[in-house]
Amino acid sequence: MPRNSLCLKIPKITGEKAITTANKLGVIDKELEIHRNNTHIYIPITRNLLQEELKKFKKLIPNLEFSTYTFKERKKHPATLLEILDGKLPPHLLGSLPRAIDFVGDIAIIEIPQELERYKTEIGNAIMQSHKNVQTVLAKAGPVKGKYRLREFTHIAGENRTETIHKEHGCKYYVDLTRVYFSPRLSNEHKRVTSVVKEGETVIDMFAGVGPFAILIAKTHKNVKVYAIDINPSAIAFLEKNVRLNRVGEKVRPILGDAKQIVRQQLRGVADRVIMNLPEKAMEFIGTACEALKPEGGIIHFYNFVSLSDSLENLKVRFAKEIKKFGRKVEKILFTRFIRETAPYEWQAVLDVEIR
Ligand SMILES: C[S@@+](CC[C@H](N)C(=O)[O-])C[C@H]1O[C@@H](n2cnc3c(N)ncnc32)[C@H](O)[C@@H]1O
């Protein structure tokens, strides 16, 4: 709502100097927007200037005038986590507040350091206050582990649930964070891999999860066929739901089972492209990827972890050696990148490789 207020009217040429001075004096009304026209700027103030202040001002800006103006109100941004928690947490702990928050649909996920454990409810509530779309806050309660790559969570604020609908690059995904793997941190990879797929290709997503590669590829390209395999029955149940939700049923075929067996039994020599997003075990599946590719070859998107003592160069060498074991050859490394830090001194990396 526009509001009438006392203000400083200043020729535009000295405007920035005036704002700096008024700011230093703490007289600007921060709830209102400074107004500018072709000749003047109007700075809303909360009080009259004291004699001393006026003198100082006139020295810098001789043709300063007092006036009134109807100002627009500034849009209020929700307070930051730090602002909300200032005064609620011991000051020396404010620096330990988690900097990274993952958002999956309307669920926020954080990692609570040991020293903040007893303040987790306050932190959860503060996240809900500072992020109006968030309905649930979960804290990570352990690492991603097991065959299905799952993590445990502790509920710390809002609705007590782990299921949501996540939106990514125009697609929607049903996800239950305790039953299936999903990371919003792979969003760029889902998009990047999709962007290099060509019309007419057959793609095998060997570790598909709820389908963020498979569904985006199908949604983006007219003429593609994607086989999306996962060993976790819940992942396949969600993937099937997501295929329907995103209307890509003609292009994506979800398959429940071990990628090794599925490829051997149903998908030998059919793929132009294979996606291998199971970094902790991908090396063990290179033979399967080779089997899945067409006899003339194709592309493999290979995800793996690289630690400080290792290097991307070593990873390329190990990958090429493994490929050779299965009678194939690395024709060209098309792309390499560190995607994200997954643990102290450990990164997830990707190699896009052309195989013959
Ligand atoms: C890191 S997640 C990747 C999910 C998905 N690509 C994404 O970007 O969200 C790895 C997936 O591989 C599945 N998986 C593990 N071992 C498998 C196997 N032998 N065959 C097929 N899928 C497997 C897990 O259930 C999990 O959903």
CATH of the domain at 46: 3.30.70.2580
Instruction: Tell whether 218 and 301 lie within a shared domain.
Output: yes
| pTM as predicted | 0.81
Residue 122 lies in a domain: yes
* Residue whose CA is at the smallest distance from ligand 1 atom 22: 230
Instruction: Tell whether 201 and 325 lie within a shared domain.
Output: yes
Residue 172 lies in a domain: no
Instruction: Tell whether 128 and 277 lie within a shared domain.
Output: no
Q: What pLDDT does residue 277 have?
A: 98
Distance in Å, CA 207 to ligand 1 centroid? 4
Distances (CA, A) of 292 to 29, 260, 279, 343, 356: 66, 10, 18, 32, 12
Q: Which pair of structure tokens corresponds to residue 276?
A: 């291998």
Per-residue pLDDT 10s for the chain (356 aa) are 899 999 999 999 999 999 999 998 999 999 999 999 999 999 999 999 999 899 888 888 888 999 999 999 987 777 788 889 988 999 999 989 988 999 999 999 999 999 999 999 999 999 999 999 999 999 999 999 999 999 999 999 999 999 999 999 999 999 999 999 999 999 999 999 999 999 999 999 999 999 999 999 999 999 999 999 999 999 999 999 999 999 999 999 999 999 999 999 999 999 999 999 999 999 999 999 999 999 999 999 999 999 876 788 999 999 999 999 999 999 999 999 999 888 888 899 999 999 99
Q: Is the CB of 353 under 6 A from ligand 1?
A: no
> Ligand 1, closest atom to CA 303?
1
Q: Is the CB of 166 under 6 A from ligand 1?
A: no
* Residue whose CA is at the smallest distance from ligand 1 atom 1: 278
Q: What pLDDT does residue 343 have?
A: 81
**Up-side HSE of residue 2: CA atoms within 13 Å toward CB?**
6
Distance in Å, CA 229 to ligand 1 centroid? 8
Q: Is the CB of 280 under 6 A from ligand 1?
A: no
Distance in Å, CA 144 to ligand 1 centroid? 12
Instruction: Tell whether 302 and 261 lie within a shared domain.
Output: yes
Distance in Å, CA 209 to ligand 1 centroid? 5
> Ligand 1, closest atom to CA 189?
8
Residue 173 lies in a domain: no
Residue of 187, 204, 230 best suited for mutating to test ligand 1, as the one with most atoms within 8 Å of CB: 230
> Ligand 1, closest atom to CA 183?
9
CATH number of the domain within which 138 lies: 3.30.300.110
The residue type of 35 is: H
Instruction: Tell whether 10 and 101 lie within a shared domain.
Output: no
Residue 169 lies in a domain: no
Instruction: Tell whether 206 and 90 lie within a shared domain.
Output: no
Count of structural domains, the chain:
3
Instruction: Tell whether 343 and 242 lie within a shared domain.
Output: yes
Q: Is the CB of 186 under 6 A from ligand 1?
A: yes
CATH number of the domain within which 341 lies: 3.40.50.150
Residue 76 lies in a domain: no
* Residue whose CA is at the smallest distance from ligand 1 atom 12: 207
Kindly give the pairing relationship between strand 136-140 and strand 252-256: unpaired
Residue 109 lies in a domain: yes
Q: Is the CB of 277 under 6 A from ligand 1?
A: yes
> Ligand 1, closest atom to CA 180?
27
Q: State which residues form the domain around 214.
A: 183-355
Distance in Å, CA 188 to ligand 1 centroid? 18
Could you say which of 112, 128, 161 is where a domain stops? 161
Stated as kind and residue range, the H or E segment containing 240 is helix 233-245
Residues linked to residue 155 through DSSP beta bridges, in sequence order: 138
Instruction: Tell whether 137 and 94 lie within a shared domain.
Output: yes
Closest CA to 274 of 292, 248, 253: 292
